Amino acid sequence: PRRFLASKEQFHAYLRARGEPGSQRSDGGKEEEAEIKEKEEEVGSCQSEPPAKRMRSEDFGQDGESQEDAGAEEKEPTERKRARGQNKSRPCMKPNHYEQSRLCPSVTQGCAEKCYFGPRCRFLHDIDEYMAVKPADLGRSCVLFETFGKCIYGVTCRFAQAHLGNGYQNIVNMDVAKQWEGKSLVRNNLSKDLQHQLRKRKFIFKKADEYLRGLAKPHGDSGKGGKAMGCSTEEQEMSNCTTTEEGRADSPECPVLLEPEDPKPDVLQSPGPTGDEEVSFVKTVGPVTDEDMIKLRSCEKKKLEIQGKLYLAPLTTCGNLPFRRICKRFGADVTCGEMAVCTNLLQGQSSEWALLKRHHTEDIFGVQLEGAFPDTMTKCAELLNQTIEVDFVDINVGCPIDLVYKKGGGCALMTRSNKFEQIVRGMNSVLDVPLTVKIRTGVQEKINVAHKIIPKIREWGASMVTLHGRSREQRYTRGADWDYIAECAKIASPMPLFGNGDILSYEDANRAMQMGVSGIMIARQVPVGALIKPWLFTEIKEQRHWDISSSERFDILKDFTNYGLEHWGSDTQGVEKTRKFLLEWLSFLCRYIPVGLLEHLPQKINERPPYYMGRDYLETLMASQNVDDWIKISEMLLGPVPTSFTFLPKHKANSYR
């Protein structure tokens, strides 16, 4: 309703006055408005607002109220472009940079005399010295101690007063701790032995090597065999290029691409005979086993029974384990980890393996892999098949960013049918769980090719396809083409096809299911989706619009914070990592428009509201797109930020001031 509308100056003045009544029209408020205006003029283009966010005269009442403000807004230069893309120059402060003097982990674990580094250790070993410089505690209750009966972070915990006794002894609640003994809460961890095998290239890829040797055999005049393993030098270099933090994907399908500074090209090749042995493609004579004669048929594999279920899409950065726990609580049936790069997994990178972790509450869980060549993708599939617990493995053929596309991965696989086929067939041959594929309508905006590829994917052995109703050129703009998704669902039959795009309410979900798809995938679609409205799963299951209050939304943030402290830790490093991911999520949550304030239901795609006042101070604060206000919300949950703290959202579209 129009009574909630406000100008930018009124909105920020209200928040600066901490919601005190009458603050907008006071003289002090006018001075604050002038200060805000001056500051906003200094903000760079990456912080500028999109034209759709600016006030228009028709947005106000017919009585001419606020016409002066509207006229001032119209004088702003119209040629200013909307902020898009990634904030590549944003500060890269890591959570551990906020703590100068850290206590050695050996002391925390009660075995200081066994410190691996001995006198060379650069961490503190004196608890009294550490406590003298340790930042003040953030609260009186520790979520780890209350939940598990013990906090493994001891004196380094930022809530340590809840479980420290005399002499800084860590107290343990044995009654609670016994309930969790022997239980594995988070699975799919990377063991040190496995990491060592991968780094030294001692892991044996028996099935993958057999498949790749078959591809390397000549196939007459077709010439397909010679390219099976990406044998050309150029392709090897492309698949092994290093990437930087700046190159992390700015899309929901693409996570960070991190690799060592000096990667070894041979990590991409199959470990073959060493020494003076020659590679022979002639099958040796030997005893015939059952495995040689009888192959595991696709119908004998574990089936993926998720038709009609709600599928939470893999989401970059924000689709972490604590966020997935929030979505599971609200009714998500199927969850999937963030996209992992196969070459990084094969190199044993801890940061990449962290994307595969699975909470015990995720009953149907899969992982998504990105790669461009059959050798790395097939080996990675066999590696995961032997080492982690998943219900399915998904191939990302939908990532639109240039970094991935130019190396032949993501959407580029839709134009490389030979490599695409080899990847799907190879991964399917080494996996004991179903293989799924996520694709887009095509690469170019008006040239759809998914309907041609889907029958081939079914023939190659995939168990399911998810189709995002946009092309690569569209990225995440404009509406998804659900008519085309319906056409592809008929072509895919009997293989299940899930639709993805613009599921903003239970009405949209009902409309999508009537298109003939087997289910729907819910992602971050602008402006609403799982990231901006995680209770969307509840709305779909209960068939209602939920006018969720600001206090209920704040409780969701509290739960996320607690889950984050459980997952990343309650020491300074864990607290700041939790804060970082909370702020990234808040950059999306601020786009939610409360149902009680809407003139019509539901909120529509790419709909950016004018500035509005919420029904209380907290609701107004949550609607702010100012980074400083997000930080204020994080301080309400995690205490004051460090003195050197800086934050800028990953995507420019999320960083208005």
* Long-range CB pairs of 175-184, under 8 A, 24+ apart, other chains included: 175/149, 176/147, 176/148, 176/149, 176/150, 177/148, 177/149, 177/150, 178/149, 179/149, 180/148, 180/149, 183/360, 184/360
Residue (of 12, 14, 81, 75) closest to 47 by Cα position: 81
Torsion on CA atoms 68, 73, 76, 78, rounded to nearest 10: -130
SS (H, E, C) 121-187: CCCECCHHHHHHHCCCCCCCCCHHHHHHCCCCCHHHCCCHHHCECHHHCECCCHHHHHHCCCCCCEE
Residue 509 neighbours by CB distance under 10 Å: 22
Cα 594 to chain centroid distance, Å, stands at: 25
Most distant CA pair in the chain: distance in Å?
Answer: 94
Angle at 599 between CA 611 and CA 511, to 5 degrees: 115
Q: What are phi and psi of 447, to 5 degrees?
A: -120, 95
Are residues 336 and 313 in contact, defined by beta-carbon separation less than 8 angstroms? yes
CA-to-CA separations, 206 to 72, 285, 390, 429, 534, in angstroms, rounded: 70, 18, 20, 12, 42
Active-site hit among 46, 399, 411, 590: 399
Are residues 555 and 562 in contact, defined by beta-carbon separation less than 8 angstroms? no
**115 catalytic residue (yes or no):** no
User: Catalytic amino acids?
Assistant: 399
